[in-house]
Amino acid sequence: MKFRACDALSLDEGERFDAVVIYNAYPHFPDKPALVKKVYRLLKPSGRFVVAHGIGREATNLHHEAVAAG
């Protein structure tokens, strides 16, 4: 099993992955459609794309609203 912690946008598309996990970072990608397309090209046919946050949707949204207002 391989594990990589890196910028998904910089990965070589010749390499395929069983899963791509974006943890606590998805809101910070400025071009989400480009990210999703890149992840699709990186995944094996049965691969999974997981976006997760450690504090839940409401808390994440409140955090980003506070940062934008600040």
What's the pLDDT score for residue 6?
86
This prediction's pTM: 0.76
What's the pLDDT score for residue 4?
84
Phi, psi for residue 4 in degrees, rounded to 5:
-130, 135
Q: How confident is the model at residue 70 (pLDDT cuts 50, 70, 90)?
A: low
Q: For the range 28-31, what are the long-range contacts, defined as Cβ-Cβ under 8 Å and sequence gap of 24 or more?
A: none
Q: What is the pLDDT of residues 10-64, one digit of tens each?
A: 888 888 999 999 998 888 888 999 999 999 999 999 999 999 988 888 888 888 8
